[in-house]
Amino acid sequence: MGRTQFYHAQVVAAIERATNKVLRQIAFQGEALTKVNINTNDQIDTGFMINSVYAKAPNDNNFSDAKARAEARNPDAQMSPEIATGTNEALIAVGAEYAVYQEAHKSFLWKAVEQLRAEFPQIVKTVRI
């Protein structure tokens, strides 16, 4: 008689790794699109805002690098605190405190989200503001 074993923990771990990998790819693609949009919109003055863009994904985060790059461009500008995420969440953020005004004038972050939604329609469905 045969014996069947189901490796539930291993299957769940494999799915979680795949999901986290996809979240990471989408977040960092969104970071790149946001920076391209800022450049295309001609919204670069000191370089602080474009360098303050960062992405977070499960087990990956480049906030500290973005903060260091941004502050090197303009030490007088303010970087917002790092945004917290849940276990299986990813985000794209712009740390420059004045970025909201630039976004309202000519979108770069929302535009990047829309670009991601077009690229990954089954995955990028909700936006939290």
Note the pLDDT tens digit of each residue in 80-108.
999 998 888 889 999 999 999 999 999 99
Q: Is residue 115 part of a domain?
A: yes
User: At a CB cut-off of 8 Å and minimum separation 6, what does 3 contact?
Assistant: none
8, pLDDT greater than 70 = no
Q: Is residue 108 part of a domain?
A: yes
CA distances (Å), origin 85, targets 40, 57, 61, 92, 124 = 29, 8, 10, 11, 16
Domain count, the chain: 1
Q: Is residue 1 part of a domain?
A: no
Q: Is residue 3 part of a domain?
A: no
Query: Mean of the per-residue pLDDT values for the chain?
Result: 86
Cα dihedral angle (37, 125, 27, 60), rounded to 10 degrees?
160
Q: Is residue 65 part of a domain?
A: yes
Q: Is residue 84 part of a domain?
A: yes
Domain that holds residue 71: 8-119
- Reference 67, options 96, 46, 24, 104; nearest CA is 96
The residue count of the chain comes to 129
- Compute the average pLDDT of residues 48-70: 95
Question: Cα–Cα distance between 108 and 102 in angstroms, integer?
Answer: 8
Q: Is residue 126 part of a domain?
A: no
Question: Cα–Cα distance between 52 and 113 in angstroms, integer?
Answer: 17
Instruction: Please tell me the pTM assigned to this model.
Output: 0.84
Choose from 4-13, 53-62, 118-127 the range with maximum mean pLDDT. Answer: 53-62
Q: Is residue 129 part of a domain?
A: no
Is residue 60 a contact partner of residue 24, using CB atoms and an 8 Å limit?
yes
